[in-house]
A and B are shown apart, each in its own frame.
Chain A
Amino acid sequence: MQTRSLTVPRGKDMLVVRVNRHTHVVLRDAAGTVRSRWDSEGKHVTFPVEPGRYTVETDGRLGALELRRLDPAVGRRGPLRADRPPPLRRRKG
Protein backbone atom coordinates (compact mmCIF):
# COMPACT_ATOMS: atom_id res chain seq x y z
CA MET A 1 0.00 0.00 0.00
CA GLN A 2 1.44 3.38 -0.97
CA THR A 3 0.39 6.51 0.86
CA ARG A 4 1.29 10.16 0.54
CA SER A 5 0.09 13.16 2.52
CA LEU A 6 -0.30 16.70 1.36
CA THR A 7 -1.82 20.01 2.39
CA VAL A 8 -4.29 21.77 0.13
CA PRO A 9 -3.85 25.53 0.56
CA ARG A 10 -6.46 28.20 0.07
CA GLY A 11 -6.97 28.98 -3.58
CA LYS A 12 -6.71 25.35 -4.68
CA ASP A 13 -9.72 23.14 -4.94
CA MET A 14 -8.73 20.22 -7.13
CA LEU A 15 -6.30 17.39 -6.50
CA VAL A 16 -5.10 15.43 -9.52
CA VAL A 17 -3.56 12.05 -8.74
CA ARG A 18 -1.58 10.06 -11.28
CA VAL A 19 -1.49 6.38 -10.47
CA ASN A 20 -0.98 3.03 -12.16
CA ARG A 21 -1.14 -0.70 -11.47
CA HIS A 22 -3.95 -0.09 -9.02
CA THR A 23 -7.43 -1.29 -8.26
CA HIS A 24 -8.37 1.68 -6.10
CA VAL A 25 -7.30 5.09 -4.86
CA VAL A 26 -8.60 6.49 -1.55
CA LEU A 27 -8.52 10.07 -0.33
CA ARG A 28 -8.68 10.52 3.46
CA ASP A 29 -9.06 13.78 5.34
CA ALA A 30 -7.02 14.81 8.38
CA ALA A 31 -9.28 12.78 10.68
CA GLY A 32 -8.69 9.65 8.60
CA THR A 33 -12.20 9.64 7.17
CA VAL A 34 -12.52 8.42 3.60
CA ARG A 35 -13.62 11.39 1.54
CA SER A 36 -13.45 9.86 -1.94
CA ARG A 37 -12.73 6.49 -3.47
CA TRP A 38 -11.78 5.70 -7.05
CA ASP A 39 -12.44 2.13 -8.18
CA SER A 40 -11.46 2.01 -11.81
CA GLU A 41 -8.30 1.48 -13.82
CA GLY A 42 -8.10 5.08 -14.91
CA LYS A 43 -4.63 6.49 -14.29
CA HIS A 44 -5.71 10.09 -13.96
CA VAL A 45 -7.97 10.79 -10.97
CA THR A 46 -9.45 14.14 -10.01
CA PHE A 47 -10.75 14.89 -6.51
CA PRO A 48 -12.53 18.18 -5.74
CA VAL A 49 -11.15 19.22 -2.35
CA GLU A 50 -11.37 21.96 0.25
CA PRO A 51 -8.30 23.43 1.94
CA GLY A 52 -6.85 21.07 4.54
CA ARG A 53 -4.64 18.08 5.12
CA TYR A 54 -5.21 14.89 3.12
CA THR A 55 -3.71 11.47 2.59
CA VAL A 56 -3.84 9.60 -0.70
CA GLU A 57 -3.50 5.83 -0.54
CA THR A 58 -3.53 3.15 -3.19
CA ASP A 59 -2.64 -0.48 -3.75
CA GLY A 60 -0.83 0.58 -6.91
CA ARG A 61 1.97 3.00 -7.67
CA LEU A 62 1.45 6.65 -6.91
CA GLY A 63 2.79 9.13 -9.40
CA ALA A 64 2.61 12.89 -9.26
CA LEU A 65 0.08 14.70 -7.09
CA GLU A 66 -0.93 18.07 -8.50
CA LEU A 67 -2.99 20.83 -6.96
CA ARG A 68 -5.06 22.88 -9.35
CA ARG A 69 -8.14 24.99 -9.53
CA LEU A 70 -11.43 23.75 -10.84
CA ASP A 71 -12.58 25.15 -14.12
CA PRO A 72 -14.28 28.42 -13.08
CA ALA A 73 -17.25 27.50 -15.19
CA VAL A 74 -17.94 24.47 -13.01
CA GLY A 75 -16.38 25.55 -9.74
CA ARG A 76 -17.92 27.49 -6.88
CA ARG A 77 -20.50 24.91 -5.94
CA GLY A 78 -22.20 27.27 -3.57
CA PRO A 79 -25.83 27.45 -2.49
CA LEU A 80 -28.36 27.97 -5.24
CA ARG A 81 -31.87 29.27 -5.24
CA ALA A 82 -33.87 26.09 -5.13
CA ASP A 83 -36.94 27.59 -6.72
CA ARG A 84 -35.08 28.43 -9.92
CA PRO A 85 -33.31 26.22 -12.45
CA PRO A 86 -29.53 25.96 -12.01
CA PRO A 87 -27.86 28.93 -13.70
CA LEU A 88 -26.09 28.65 -16.99
CA ARG A 89 -22.32 28.63 -16.63
CA ARG A 90 -20.36 30.85 -18.94
CA ARG A 91 -17.49 29.38 -20.89
CA LYS A 92 -13.98 30.71 -20.50
CA GLY A 93 -12.70 33.17 -23.04
Chain B
Amino acid sequence: MLMSLPANPVPAELYRFMAGTPGLKWLPWYVWGAGTYATKYGYDTTKFIGYLGTISVPLLGENVTVKSFRVQGSVEGQIGATEGAMLLASLYENTGNLSSPLATIFVDRRNVPNSSIGSVYVDMTQSVAFVASASQHELAIELIGEGQGIATITGLVIDFGY
Protein backbone atom coordinates (compact mmCIF):
# COMPACT_ATOMS: atom_id res chain seq x y z
CA MET B 1 0.00 0.00 0.00
CA LEU B 2 1.31 3.40 -0.89
CA MET B 3 0.65 6.21 1.54
CA SER B 4 1.09 9.66 0.10
CA LEU B 5 1.56 12.59 2.41
CA PRO B 6 1.10 15.64 0.22
CA ALA B 7 2.97 18.79 1.04
CA ASN B 8 2.12 22.06 -0.59
CA PRO B 9 4.53 24.34 -2.45
CA VAL B 10 5.97 27.37 -0.76
CA PRO B 11 3.21 29.88 -0.22
CA ALA B 12 4.09 32.70 -2.61
CA GLU B 13 3.19 35.51 -0.25
CA LEU B 14 5.42 34.07 2.46
CA TYR B 15 8.37 33.74 0.13
CA ARG B 16 8.10 37.34 -1.02
CA PHE B 17 8.15 38.47 2.57
CA MET B 18 11.30 36.52 3.30
CA ALA B 19 12.96 37.28 -0.03
CA GLY B 20 13.03 40.94 0.88
CA THR B 21 15.46 40.37 3.72
CA PRO B 22 19.20 40.71 3.19
CA GLY B 23 21.82 38.05 3.86
CA LEU B 24 21.15 34.42 4.60
CA LYS B 25 17.52 33.55 4.36
CA TRP B 26 15.49 30.98 6.18
CA LEU B 27 13.74 28.97 3.53
CA PRO B 28 10.12 29.55 4.38
CA TRP B 29 8.74 26.12 3.74
CA TYR B 30 5.76 24.91 5.58
CA VAL B 31 4.36 21.47 5.35
CA TRP B 32 0.65 20.87 5.26
CA GLY B 33 -1.65 18.04 4.38
CA ALA B 34 -3.36 15.02 5.79
CA GLY B 35 -1.91 13.77 9.05
CA THR B 36 0.50 16.65 8.99
CA TYR B 37 1.54 19.36 11.32
CA ALA B 38 4.10 22.04 10.75
CA THR B 39 6.50 23.26 13.37
CA LYS B 40 8.93 26.11 13.33
CA TYR B 41 11.07 27.13 16.23
CA GLY B 42 12.12 30.65 17.03
CA TYR B 43 15.79 30.12 16.34
CA ASP B 44 18.53 32.40 15.11
CA THR B 45 18.94 31.56 11.43
CA THR B 46 22.48 32.95 11.37
CA LYS B 47 23.52 30.23 13.82
CA PHE B 48 21.31 27.28 13.10
CA ILE B 49 20.41 25.25 10.10
CA GLY B 50 16.82 25.25 9.00
CA TYR B 51 14.39 22.91 10.63
CA LEU B 52 11.37 22.83 8.38
CA GLY B 53 8.97 20.66 10.21
CA THR B 54 7.91 17.23 11.26
CA ILE B 55 5.15 15.23 9.64
CA SER B 56 3.46 12.51 11.58
CA VAL B 57 2.89 9.32 9.63
CA PRO B 58 -0.19 7.28 10.51
CA LEU B 59 0.67 3.67 11.26
CA LEU B 60 -2.22 1.24 11.10
CA GLY B 61 -2.04 -2.33 12.32
CA GLU B 62 0.58 -4.70 13.66
CA ASN B 63 3.65 -6.09 11.90
CA VAL B 64 3.45 -3.64 9.04
CA THR B 65 6.51 -3.63 6.81
CA VAL B 66 7.74 -0.17 5.91
CA LYS B 67 9.15 -0.86 2.46
CA SER B 68 10.30 2.47 1.11
CA PHE B 69 10.34 6.23 1.57
CA ARG B 70 10.04 8.55 -1.43
CA VAL B 71 10.39 12.30 -1.86
CA GLN B 72 9.22 14.19 -4.92
CA GLY B 73 9.62 17.86 -5.62
CA SER B 74 12.16 20.31 -6.93
CA VAL B 75 15.38 21.78 -5.56
CA GLU B 76 17.03 24.76 -7.16
CA GLY B 77 20.75 24.92 -7.81
CA GLN B 78 23.16 27.81 -7.59
CA ILE B 79 22.36 30.79 -9.82
CA GLY B 80 25.36 33.05 -10.30
CA ALA B 81 26.72 33.92 -6.89
CA THR B 82 23.49 32.96 -5.18
CA GLU B 83 23.67 29.54 -3.63
CA GLY B 84 21.01 26.95 -4.29
CA ALA B 85 19.02 24.91 -1.83
CA MET B 86 19.60 21.82 0.25
CA LEU B 87 16.85 19.47 1.31
CA LEU B 88 17.14 16.62 3.77
CA ALA B 89 14.21 14.36 4.60
CA SER B 90 14.44 11.56 7.13
CA LEU B 91 11.86 8.97 8.03
CA TYR B 92 12.09 8.23 11.75
CA GLU B 93 10.68 5.48 13.89
CA ASN B 94 9.99 6.03 17.51
CA THR B 95 10.20 3.22 20.04
CA GLY B 96 9.74 4.21 23.65
CA ASN B 97 11.70 7.38 24.24
CA LEU B 98 14.15 7.02 21.38
CA SER B 99 13.68 7.65 17.71
CA SER B 100 16.05 6.53 14.96
CA PRO B 101 16.19 7.28 11.25
CA LEU B 102 15.03 4.49 8.96
CA ALA B 103 15.80 6.28 5.71
CA THR B 104 17.39 9.56 4.72
CA ILE B 105 17.11 11.40 1.43
CA PHE B 106 19.53 14.22 0.81
CA VAL B 107 19.62 16.67 -2.08
CA ASP B 108 22.31 19.31 -1.80
CA ARG B 109 22.48 21.84 -4.60
CA ARG B 110 23.78 24.81 -2.67
CA ASN B 111 27.01 24.85 -4.66
CA VAL B 112 25.91 23.08 -7.82
CA PRO B 113 25.18 25.46 -10.71
CA ASN B 114 21.61 25.31 -11.94
CA SER B 115 22.97 24.99 -15.47
CA SER B 116 24.71 21.70 -14.66
CA ILE B 117 21.86 20.03 -12.80
CA GLY B 118 19.86 19.13 -15.87
CA SER B 119 16.57 19.33 -14.01
CA VAL B 120 15.50 20.83 -10.74
CA TYR B 121 13.02 18.02 -10.23
CA VAL B 122 13.68 15.40 -7.59
CA ASP B 123 12.25 11.92 -7.28
CA MET B 124 14.22 9.77 -4.87
CA THR B 125 13.18 6.50 -3.25
CA GLN B 126 15.01 4.93 -0.34
CA SER B 127 14.43 1.29 0.65
CA VAL B 128 13.63 0.68 4.30
CA ALA B 129 12.54 -2.88 5.28
CA PHE B 130 11.42 -2.17 8.85
CA VAL B 131 8.62 -4.05 10.60
CA ALA B 132 6.49 -1.71 12.67
CA SER B 133 3.51 -2.19 14.94
CA ALA B 134 1.14 0.54 15.96
CA SER B 135 1.28 -0.70 19.54
CA GLN B 136 5.06 -0.26 19.75
CA HIS B 137 6.19 2.24 17.14
CA GLU B 138 5.41 5.66 15.74
CA LEU B 139 6.62 7.08 12.45
CA ALA B 140 7.44 10.65 11.50
CA ILE B 141 9.27 12.50 8.74
CA GLU B 142 11.68 15.26 9.66
CA LEU B 143 12.49 17.89 7.06
CA ILE B 144 15.54 20.12 7.11
CA GLY B 145 16.47 22.76 4.57
CA GLU B 146 19.29 25.20 4.00
CA GLY B 147 20.54 27.64 1.43
CA GLN B 148 19.07 30.52 -0.50
CA GLY B 149 17.45 28.67 -3.37
CA ILE B 150 13.89 27.49 -3.56
CA ALA B 151 12.91 23.94 -2.84
CA THR B 152 9.41 22.60 -3.15
CA ILE B 153 8.15 19.29 -1.84
CA THR B 154 5.23 17.97 -3.83
CA GLY B 155 4.99 14.52 -2.36
CA LEU B 156 6.22 12.32 0.46
CA VAL B 157 5.29 8.70 -0.13
CA ILE B 158 5.73 5.66 2.10
CA ASP B 159 5.16 2.14 0.80
CA PHE B 160 3.72 -0.17 3.45
CA GLY B 161 3.44 -3.93 3.16
CA TYR B 162 0.58 -5.57 5.09
- Interface of A toward B, CB cutoff 8 Å: 14, 20, 33-48, 70-71, 73-74, 77-83, 85-86, 88-91
Minimal Cβ-Cβ distance residue in B for A28: B127
State whether A74 touches B88 (Cβ < 8 A): yes
Pairs of residues from A and B, 9 with the lowest C-beta to C-beta distance, nearest first: A41-B119, A43-B118, A39-B123, A77-B101, A89-B49, A88-B48, A82-B99, A40-B123, A82-B94
**A-B pairs with beta carbons under 8 Å apart, 20 shown:** A35-B126, A36-B125, A37-B124, A40-B121, A43-B117, A43-B119, A44-B117, A45-B124, A47-B106, A71-B146, A73-B146, A74-B144, A77-B101, A80-B98, A81-B99, A82-B99, A86-B51, A88-B49, A88-B51, A91-B46
B90 sits at the interface (CB 8 A): yes
State whether A81 touches B98 (Cβ < 8 A): yes
Q: How far is the CA of A73 from the CA of B106 in the complex (A)?
A: 13
State whether A37 touches B121 (Cβ < 8 A): no
Listed stretches B4-12, B13-21, B28-36, B107-115; interface member: B107-115
State whether B49 touches A77 (Cβ < 8 A): no
Q: Chain B interface secondary structure, helix, strand, loop or mixed?
A: strand
Q: How far is the CA of A82 from the CA of B48 in the complex (A)?
A: 20
Q: How far is the CA of A90 from the CA of B48 in the complex (A)?
A: 4
Number of interface residues of B (CB under 8 A): 44
State whether A91 touches B49 (Cβ < 8 A): yes
Q: Which of B34-58 contact A (CB under 8 A)?
A: 39, 41, 43, 46-49, 51, 54
Choose from B106, B107, B127 the contact partner of A70 (Cβ within 8 Å): B106
- Interface of B toward A, CB cutoff 8 Å: 39, 41, 43, 46-49, 51, 54, 77, 86, 88, 90, 92, 94, 96-101, 104-109, 112, 116-127, 138, 142, 144, 146
Minimal Cβ-Cβ distance residue in B for A73: B49
A-B contact count (CB 8 A): 106
A90: B residues at CB distance < 8 A = 47-49
Most A Cβ at <10 Å: residue of B86, B101, B108, B122: B108
CB distance from A71 to the nearest CB of B (A): 7
Minimal Cβ-Cβ distance residue in A for B125: A37
CB distance from A26 to the nearest CB of B (A): 10
B43: A residues at CB distance < 8 A = 88
A34: B residues at CB distance < 8 A = 127
A48: B residues at CB distance < 8 A = 104-106
